[in-house]
Structure 1
Amino acid sequence: MTPLISTERLINALQTHGVRLADPKAGLASRRGGAGPSDHKAITLDGMTVMVPVHTAPAFESPYVAEAPDDAGNSRILRDNVAVGAISFPKRPRFYDLSTADGIPYPKIAVLHGRDVLATTVLQTCVRYQSRTKTCQFCAIGQSLAGGRTIERKTPAQLAEVARAAVELDSVRHMVLTTGTPPGRDRGAAILTESATAIKAAVDLPIQAQCEPPDEDAWFTRMHDAGIDTLGLHLEAVTPSVRARIMPGKAQVPLSRYFDAFAAAIAIFGRGQVSTYILAGLGDTPDAILTMSERLIGLGVYPFVVPFVPISGTPLESHPAPTPAFMDEILRPLSAMLREANLLAADIKAGCGKCGACSALSTYERRPAA
């Protein structure tokens, strides 16, 4: 069927409003809690895999409803009982049915994001999380651990075992390694490096690593030498006042350090292979996000702008999600800037920007909105 609105705007609408599931069983394979995308479910829309909120407060009141899927997993999105798009639900990955040599179910080690991305939080704790004066107000990293859906520390051997199975059984094409921030000056770079070394020894799989900027730029060379292909250094918010309010602990790492780290990392990983996550809707204006994005693009850093999703159980669970119009106001000009700079999601070797399922940005890049 032909969507009543453009695919780009429909994705914006579904990711900001969320989706109600007519069949609750369709949400069984969704993501609850954890390091994100949390409280989401993957759908396939117009040939693209999109992560949409299904367990958030806005989703429970969303005007968008996903019909119960048929036996092949096909469904439709309805608004006011009118179909606005055809979707399907991806099948449960086959590697989810296995356990590691030491008896841990594979989904507790790593999970499928989008359609073909394996993702894990290597360390499911963070030095900032237990303190409400330091924690990122949007973060749910401890929820999946408390719920028994993951383990605190994934060993290199476990990650290598699961990665190999995900490639062989489910044709996974790239992997994301993220981490809570541990104590110490490397801010997680060390455990990401040892994890990547083990994975690359087991399977040829492009890897993105994500952490706060380590204090020493030498870590970027070590990470690259370990087989990490792309790097994510995530700003989340771009205005100093918003950063201080929303993530008081992480904001202690100043923007100046981020930009020094971006420049040093680009020299190692290459233009377009370093990215940053920006959550739109936390208080930054569209102009502030676009101004920051222009600076990042000038360095060769890909700004992956996604809509903020209020996660249940976090301090921002009642914070409103951005509107579809707000996201369009950012993503339309941002995609034009990226096309002009030839800095495109399709050219990223691994990671969130390449996957693109948490934002309509890559869709705007491919098909500029009218």
Structure 2
Amino acid sequence: MSDHAQLINELQTHGMRLVDPRAGQESRRGGAGPSDHKAISIGERTVMIPVHTAPSFDSPYLVEAPDDTGAARVTRDGSEVAVVRFPTPARFYQRRTADGIPYSHIAALHSKDVLATTVLQTCIRYESRKKTCQFCSIGQSLAAGRTIAHKTPQQLAEVAKAAVELDGVTHMVLTTGTPAGKDRGAKVLCESAEAIRAAIDLPLQGQCEPPEDDAWHRRMHDAGIDSLGMHLEAVTPEVRQRIMPGKASVPLEKYLSSFEAAVKVFGRGQVSTYILAGLGDTPVAILEMSEKLCEMGVYPFVVPFVPISGTPLESHPAPSSEFMEQILRPLGQMIARAGILSSEMKAGCGKCGACSALATYEKLKVPA
């Protein structure tokens, strides 16, 4: 299979065990984004693999200690299945902002060339047990002292410039917890983007819930945001209500109308949505929604659900590799037919692709 698609799918659903715990020192625990994961490079691709989750502790995949060149063998039942590499720590992590905050508290290197930050590390959904998304751990890194609650535009601009100059970062993700207010985070993304683009020419993706007023799409674009992510997470009303009761108050219809408005501003393939497979939606439901999104020009970034320690769903099973294969193989072909390939995205999670094997399935030949 092209570009290790099947192996990446297997590793992302099973996770992996590290022979040398020190190899996991640069892994991400808690917080927003790909948590409890470790970045590794397989061939030319960098992917995020769970290493601190319940499924990963029982994974059949074992990663040996890296050699002097940084290469490490991955084995299953004693047989080598791949050789991977661990990325080197980001050089910009050694610095502090003008007001004394470690750069690592402001933004993180998610892949070998992708910078990401959660501008607001608080969320109106997270503050209530009745409203919180059951998979979310946005407050964990804040409680652990690994980040700060609000990254200022000046701090973000300073760190982004250093990450480009020191580590070759090529695009950046700006996500945010949802604040009170009808803009649902769009305003703080605009302020952040304006400061970053004034300091460095860096493609940006903004991520927020659909703003109540579609005029915010144009404002975000004009502020310097190149692509937009508005994340469904689940695609059926019953699963959304059960898994994320607060966020489900924004109905699917609002997401779809907001997607349509955003595509008019950002263009086809520059608007995306995260879909977490394994929360209860069937492959058929995910593919039906994905087909609708592809027709609209919205990239459906489907990733396997990863149960994060300390969340209400920490014991929820991860989807099987077979379950993901049922989705990713036809979805990759669907995306290719729609002409909205991840490689054409200007910035963002879909362009990075490290949290899913989806990009590798986009390259597979369509059966005659």
TM over 0.5: yes
Moved over 4 A (4+): none
Query: Which of 300, 304, 311 lines up with 1:307 in the alignment?
Result: 304
TM-score by length of 1: 0.98
Q: Which residue matches 1:181?
A: 178
Count of residues paired in the alignment: 367
AA aligned to 1:301 is: V
Give the whole-Å Cα distance in 1 for the aligned partners of 2:3 and 2:179: 43
Q: Which residue matches 2:284?
A: 287
Q: Which residue matches 1:41?
A: 38
Label 1:368 to 1:282 Cα distance change in 2 as closer, same or farther (>3 A). farther
Q: Which residue matches 1:196?
A: 193
Give the whole-Å Cα distance in 2 for the aligned partners of 1:368 and 1:162: 41
AA aligned to 2:335 is: L
Would you say 1:317 and 2:314 are equivalent positions? yes
Label 1:317 to 1:368 Cα distance change in 2 as closer, same or farther (>3 A). farther
Label 1:76 to 1:367 Cα distance change in 2 as closer, same or farther (>3 A). farther
Q: Which residue matches 1:164?
A: 161
Q: Which residue matches 1:116?
A: 113
Say whether the 8 Å CA contact 1:50–1:358 is kept in structure 2: yes
In the TM superposition, what is the alpha-carbon distance from 1:244 to its structure 2 partner?
0.3
Q: Which residue matches 2:228?
A: 231
Q: Which residue matches 2:355?
A: 358
CA RMSD of aligned residues (A): 1.2
Give the whole-Å Cα distance in 2 for the aligned partners of 1:226 and 1:6: 36
Say whether the 8 Å CA contact 1:332–1:369 is kept in structure 2: no
AA aligned to 2:173 is: V
Give the whole-Å Cα distance in 1 for the aligned partners of 2:320 and 2:69: 32
Say whether the 8 Å CA contact 2:31–2:140 is kept in structure 1: yes
Query: Which of 147, 162, 170 lines up with 2:144 in the alignment?
Result: 147
Give the whole-Å Cα distance in 1 for the aligned partners of 2:317 and 2:306: 8
Q: Which residue matches 1:132?
A: 129
Say whether the 8 Å CA contact 1:332–1:368 is kept in structure 2: no
Query: Which of 64, 82, 85 lines up with 2:82 in the alignment?
Result: 85
Give the whole-Å Cα distance in 2 for the aligned partners of 1:132 and 1:254: 20
Give the whole-Å Cα distance in 2 for the aligned partners of 1:341 and 1:126: 34
What percentage of aligned pairs have identical amino acids? 69
TM-score by length of 2: 0.98
Give the whole-Å Cα distance in 2 for the aligned partners of 1:73 and 1:39: 21
What's the CA shift string for 1:24-81, capped at 9, x where partnerless?
Answer: 0000000110112000010000210000000001111111011101122110111111
What's the CA shift string for 1:295-343, capped at 9, x where partnerless?
Answer: 0001000000000000000000000000001011000000111111111
Q: Which residue matches 2:267?
A: 270
What's the CA shift string for 1:112-151, capped at 9, x where partnerless?
Answer: 0111100000000000102111000000000000001100
Say whether the 8 Å CA contact 1:8–1:369 is kept in structure 2: no
In the TM superposition, what is the alpha-carbon distance from 1:366 to its structure 2 partner?
2.0
**Gap runs ≥5 in structure 2:** none
